[in-house]
Each structure stands twice: as structure tokens, then as C-alpha cells.
Structure 1
Amino acid sequence: MSTFTEIADRVWVSARPWYDVNVTVVAGERGLVVVDTHACLAAGAALRDDVVSLASSLAPGTAVVATVLTHAHHDHVLGTPALRATWGDDLPVHAHEGCLAELTAWSADPGPAPENTSAEGWRTTQDDVDALVLPDHVFSSAGFVDLGDRLVELLHPGRGHTSGDLVAVVPDADVVVAGDLVESAGPPALGPDSFPLEWPLTLDVVLPLLRPSTVVVPGHGTPVDRDFVETQRGALGVLAETVRDLASRGVSVEDAVAHEGWTSTDAGLTLPWEPADLADAVRRVYEHLPRSQKRLPLL
């Protein structure tokens, strides 16, 4: 059973082994906020049990008063019904409006369920998708959860891993929960719904929130610091500018995907991705580049 580790004053993180996904809990006078809820109903129930154990170690009557979803991917959202089953059907679910739009579209047309199976035998099924709880407290730029003696500030710094990423900031604890905008278990995942051209600029909005002492909770992997985020921003920036350069020289999308220089750049920075993992990112950059920055493919 996963347990929570306190990383700052009344801020705990649980690294769930399935998907190596992080769940963060923040406590205040009014109760607890749970950030992200895992990948299926069974995983959510196990998470709920761990949160109940954590709450029992705090003041009597401590309850979860809100949840926050960092973005719309299934491994971060599908456990919410288990939390509502314990703390009420009106338990608020906070998210960015882009996250709500993506989840609404996904619930209408979910496609095949992910194949990943946990060590416990859990896997995401259609029943899990059918039980999806859509966010009911959404914002466009910024929001917050009031815990009485502290605020959890919610910020949409821009598009990156998805269209609806948020970061949750606990200013008095010097903690920033970054979701999958930052990953330390591996390089940031550049999927078919990512925005690699904008992602570096999005992290440019996040970086001023971070001090050298700030604890940054990534979506996957161990907590990191400002230097780590800055390095990851640099790699994303080099990737985006490399693809922009290829497009401006008339290299076709497929030739750019097969580009032989993905392991290094003229700047001497080695990119952390395997070439096979960059196909979606390259195609997304070509889609998002303005016409003026693309030439016709070379013959």
C-alpha cells in the first residue's frame, strides 16, 4: 500500500506505483485538498484508503474538502468517484476549462481503453470511463481553494502537455505541484494532444514562481527543484526550435520525424527523448507553426 510522505508543512506526496504517478495532499484548517486521483476506480479506492489513514493522523474530523485535476489524462482523473463516495457527491473538482473540454470530449468518444495493467491487476476499463466525474469548478487563468489558514493557488500557465494544464501553488509551504508539465521519472511525454511549440513558453511562466528552495512535485517521479525545471525547459525549447528550423528550410514532416540529429544539437545539449518518441511532437509543431514559418517541402 502506498503511503504519503510529508515534503513541506502539511503537504504530502504519494508516489503511486502504477504509472509512477504522484498524488499530492495539502492540509489546512478547513480540511484536505487532493491533487489528482489516479487511473481507475480501484486505484481511486486504494488512494482513498490511504487518504483516510492520513486524515486519521491529523485533527479529529479532518475530511477532504476539494480535489484538483492537473490535466485530463486518465491516470490522473479516474479515481475521483471513490473520493466522492466517501466525502460526498458534492465534493468540488477543480480544473482548468481546457481540462473540462478534453474530458467532456473523451467521455463522449473514449476509444479503446489503455492496456496498462497494475501489479494488483487493476486496469482502466469502460466502466471506469463511464464513471468519470467532470470538473465542476473551472477557471480560465487562475483560481484557488480556500483552506481557511492557507490558499492553494491554481494557475493555468499556458498549453504544454495538454491544452488544460494547471499548476497548484502552496505559497506558505514553498511547494508547486506541476502535473505533467514537469516529469522526473523520464522526459516529458510529448503525446498527440501536446503543444511542444508552446510548452517552453508555458514553463517560462512557471519558473518565476520557483525559488531555489521551492519543492516542485512533477506528475511522475520524485520531487525536483527550480534548476531541474529550468533544464527541462531548455530541452523542450531546443526541440521546438530544431523542428521550427527544419520546417523553415523546407524539410517535410516525415523527413523531420526521421531527422538524424535528434540526439544532440549545435548548442551541445543532448535531448532526453528517444527519436522514436518524437514523432507526435514533430507533427504537432508542424501543425502549429504559422504558414510564414514553413517552406514548401524540398524535392
Structure 2
Amino acid sequence: MSDATPRPHGEPTLTELADRVWVVRHPWWDVNVTAVEGQRGLLLVDTHTSDASFAEVLEVVRRATRAPLVEVVNTHAHLDHVLGNAAARAAGEGVVVTGHEAGDWEGHLPRSVAAYDGPRAEEAAAAVVSPPDRTFSSVTAIDLGDRVVELVHPGRGHTDGDLLARVEDADVLVAGDLVEESGTPVWGEDSWPMEWPLSLDLALELVGPATVVVPGHGSPVDRDFVFEQRSSIGVVAETIRDLASRGVPASEALAAGQWPYPAEDLAHAVRRGYEHLPRSQKRLPLI
């Protein structure tokens, strides 16, 4: 599985973050879907894990606004954030889905869907993988008429196709799984542990003292939370670098390191980190 532990119980909740900006927090995966209304219509950031869960999210959004759905943004190509894309297209007329060009729609995503055996697995398996209509490399924007949603690729981290969605006039930043509130940040088989801290450095440049940051999972957070999480993710990267430079084999690194998170959550981080380090930063273990 690629993200937070799925939680099947409870009801989705709706929280107003700013003028015409809401977040729906769904108990399945404890995932967030953010809604932004403009004169042209409604934009949703992420679409959850199935046709049914997308419908549940949209029903909650409709308590706040009846604006027609016109735009969807995918923060990254993981099953719990994008498998509702097809249902989102069907829920509006001419809905355009935007994501980063590096999203792994043909590799990691279908493998993770096939491997998922948690709550509502049949729903997830039945969902049609529906990639974005529009992709970008570094920065783009979506005009909603009276407001603009800026999309920024800060670099690789949780995946190689992470993006940030910024609603500047509302001082809201949607961070996807680059920021996690409901548990340990997730380093999966497609993560970039050595680059994640640098991506968060760029994200922090977009976060002011009053900015509301929407994580991929859990409650909205502030700049201090993002800064502290960046520091811990940075410790993971530097610990990997230090262990490798001292000749500690990857197979022994989890036991040898002093980690800011439970070692059992860091297996992919260590493996991927060792793979991504240049040869010059690794010392051959003494025999």
C-alpha cells in the first residue's frame, strides 16, 4: 500500500478553511479532498479511491456549494487520491483533470491497486484508472474567473510527481502527501527520500505565518508543523547519507540508525535512499 492506513469507519466531515475553500476529510484512508469555488465553477484537489467514495465526497461538498464541477487537480498518482477521476469527469461537463507529467499512471498505480486488500478493496479494484488530461513540468495555473489556483512541482519527495496547489487570495496551500498529519510520512517504493527535504524547503517558501496547509491525510496544519516535519524528514535523509558514508550496508542501516520515526516505517526510505546516493557518498563495507 502506498499511503496512510485505511480507516473504514465514520462519516466524511466538511471544514471551511477560507472564503469558498473547504476540505472534506474522509475516514477511508483519512484522506483530504479540497474544494475551491470561483466564478467559473468548482475545482477539486484529488478524487479519493473509487467511484463511490468520490460520490460521498461530492455529496458533502454540495452542503456548501452547488457550483458546477469544472476542474480537478491530482496531487500525485496514488490510488487513494486519484481513482475517483473517472467519476469526477462524469459529475460535470467538460471537467479537466490536471496533474504533474511525472505521475506514474502505468507502473506503481496499477500495481498498488492490484495489491490492495484493505477495506472496500472491491471498489478500488473496480475503479477505472483515468490519467490527467493536462500535465505540466514546473508551474502552471488554473483560472476560476475571480481567483487563480497556482500549481507548483516543488521537486521529488513522496513520489516523483508531487504538486502543491496554492490559493493565494485565501492563503491556503494544499500539499498532498508531501505533508502528513495523521501519521508518519510515507516513504513508498516510488519515494525520493534524499530529495524530499529540498522539496519541502520550496513548499515552505509558499507558506506564511497565517497560511492554512492541507496535508494529504489528517487535520490542516500551519507553517510550524511543516517546518518541524521537514526537519524530521531531513534527519532521515542525513542519517541515510551518514550511514552509507561510514560503510554501513543498507541491510543493517535500520538497526544502526537513530531515526525520528519508527524504524519499521522506514524500510523503503533506506532502500531507496541508498539506491539514489551517488557512488562518491558511499563507502564499501569493510570485510
Q: Could you tell me which residue of structure 2 aligns to residue 6 of structure 1? A: 16
Cα-Cα RMSD:
1.6
Q: Could you tell me which residue of structure 1 aligns to residue 8 of structure 2? A: none
1:275 corresponds to which of 247, 263, 274: 263
Task: Report matched runs for 1:73-152 at 5 Å.
Answer: 73-88=78-93, 90-99=94-103, 102-106=104-108, 112-117=114-119, 121=120, 123-128=122-127, 131-152=128-149
Matched, 1:203 2:210: no
Superposed CA deviations along residues 101-159 of structure 1, whole A, max 9, x for unmatched, are: x0133466566241120xxx56444321xx12110111000111101111000000000
TM-score of the superposition, structure 1-length normalised?
Answer: 0.88
The residue identity in structure 2 corresponding to 1:83 is A
Q: CA deviation at 1:47?
A: 1.8
Cα distance in 2, alignment partners of residues 135 and 72 from structure 1: 10
Cα distance in 2, alignment partners of residues 159 and 250 from structure 1: 26
Q: CA deviation at 1:257?
A: 2.5
* Structure 1 unpaired stretches of 5+: 57-61, 263-270
Q: Could you tell me which residue of structure 2 aligns to residue 59 of structure 1? A: none
1:145 alignment partner, SS class: strand
2:162 corresponds to which of 161, 165, 176: 165
The residue identity in structure 2 corresponding to 1:193 is D
* Structure 2 unpaired stretches of 5+: 1-10
Superposed CA deviations along residues 231-275 of structure 1, whole A, max 9, x for unmatched, are: 00000111101110110011111011222533xxxxxxxx1x211
Cα distance in 1, alignment partners of residues 129 and 139 from structure 2: 24
Q: Could you tell me which residue of structure 2 aligns to residue 265 of structure 1? A: none
Moved more, 43-52 or 240-249: 43-52
Q: Could you tell me which residue of structure 1 aligns to residue 5 of structure 2? A: none
Q: Could you tell me which residue of structure 2 aligns to residue 55 of structure 1? A: 65
The residue identity in structure 2 corresponding to 1:275 is A
The residue identity in structure 2 corresponding to 1:290 is P
Matched, 1:65 2:70: yes
The residue identity in structure 2 corresponding to 1:2 is P
- Cα separation, partners in 2 of 1:125 and 1:27, compared to 1, 3 Å: closer
The residue identity in structure 1 corresponding to 2:228 is T
Q: Could you tell me which residue of structure 1 aligns to residue 246 of structure 2? A: 249
The residue identity in structure 2 corresponding to 1:70 is T
1:37 corresponds to which of 47, 50, 56: 47
| Runs of 4+ displaced beyond 6 Å | none
Cα distance in 2, alignment partners of residues 74 and 280 from structure 1: 18
The residue identity in structure 2 corresponding to 1:65 is V
The residue identity in structure 2 corresponding to 1:150 is R
The structure with more radius of gyration: 1
1:160 alignment partner, SS class: coil
TM-score of the superposition, structure 2-length normalised?
Answer: 0.92
1:257 alignment partner, SS class: helix
Cα distance in 1, alignment partners of residues 110 and 33 from structure 2: 26
